Amino acid sequence: MLQIETERRGIIQTTFSFFSPAEAAKSQFPETKYMGSKQVLLPFILSRLSALRFDRVLDAFSGSGCVAYALKQQGVEVHANDFLKSAFHIARSTIENNATFLSDSELEALLKPNKKARGFIEFTFGDRYFTSEDNRFLDNLWANIQELGGPIKRSLALTAACRAAMKKRPRGIFTFTGMKGWDGRRDLRMSMKDQFLIAIHQIHAAIFSNGRKNKAFCKDVFCLDPKGYDLVYIDTPYISPYSDCDYTRRYHFIEGYCTYWKDAEILEHTSTRKIKSYPTDFSTRAGAVDAFGRLFNHFHNSDLVVSYSSNGIPSRDQMVSLLKRFKRKVEVHETEHQYSHGNHHHKVGSNNNAVREYLFIAS
């Protein structure tokens, strides 16, 4: 098990003895600050789902993966989908994966210098996000990940790398460069290598088998086969009067890292070197209502559970009307919630992030 020693004289000292799979008997999903994550709302969501009967469920926009993981813990077959590659690797590591771990020798191999490392991150991003040492670590790590055997093991390493990169950024996002938001917290001062090893430990601790053939997808939701799901959980990116829902813009660095920017269009004129986003109808005011209607129609043979917010577009009443086109019974449950993840530093904790969180259950 990885152990972090106490901080002494301002220097963080880290020692490692790699995690044993036998210690994963008690699984625990890593804490996340992912934008829109429902982790703190899980008791609210699960308590409402307890009245439903389902054996096979789809989390259609899995994001941080916490809801899909909680459903996996219930013993049902879970399929998790997200169009973001970084989210897909989280799902393949913790939802689809029932028993695959990185061995001690594989972890050690990931840390060794690799002559095939290309230096793309150091050359492209410079000091925009990380130090030269951290950039070189990520470049070298990518080369080593390509030598891992099997897609799940590569997903484990990529998930840990993405988590490490997010932990090394204030608020975990890549919409600004340099030292903005730097407050000296321990996560920001730790090396990328140490963050990566901590992340591996946390992901290993989350791996367990529920005895089902769970799956992870990285597809446009409308390209998924809708057949065979008792329940479809929907938590789409949605716009509000206060923010957009461009996850690619916020997480472009880790999204690019998942393919080492292969086929990604880097917008060279931007200070962040972000990659090109591909907005969907869910991200526009003009298209959102129609997009939800098409989504509900696509999965009309399943019970639908929709997480939503009072500051979202379309409105609560519009959502009820849309669901009633396809379902006879629509229940609305709600609770107060404060999002701590604003788009800008001055928005964190603002009243605009205090909302009523809705859970629509349509059957």
In tens, the pLDDT along 12-27 reads 333 333 333 343 345 6
Q: What is the pLDDT of residue 351?
A: 46
Domain ranges in the chain are 1-30+102-207, 35-98+213-247+283-363
Q: What is the pLDDT of residue 178?
A: 85
- Against a cut of 0.95, is the pTM above it? no
Q: What is the DSSP letter of 336?
A: E
Q: What is the pLDDT of residue 352?
A: 52
Rounded Cα gap, residues 217 and 355, in angstroms: 30
Rounded Cα gap, residues 58 and 175, in angstroms: 31
Q: What is the pLDDT of residue 257?
A: 98
CATH for 35-98+213-247+283-363 (3.40.50.150, 3.40.395.10, 3.20.20.80, 3.40.109.10)? 3.40.50.150
Q: For the chain, where are the E strands, in sequence order? A: 2-4, 14-16, 56-59, 77-81, 215-217, 231-234, 303-309, 330-338, 354-362
Q: Which of 254, 247, 253 is nearest to 341 (CA)?
A: 247
Q: What is the pLDDT of residue 36?
A: 78
Q: What is the mean pLDDT of each run of 10 residues along the chain (363 residues)?
A: 35 36 58 82 92 95 95 96 97 97 97 96 96 97 96 98 95 88 82 96 95 97 96 87 75 96 95 90 83 96 93 88 96 80 45 76 96
Q: What are 317's two structure tokens?
A: 């009443």
Q: What is the pLDDT of residue 25?
A: 42
Task: Please write the tens of the pLDDT for every residue from 92-129.
Answer: 999 999 999 999 999 999 999 999 999 999 999 999 99
Q: Which of 316, 260, 265, 312 is nearest to 285 (CA)?
A: 312
Residue 23: how many other CB atoms lie within 10 Å: 11
262-270 contact pairs (CB < 8 A, 24+): 266/124
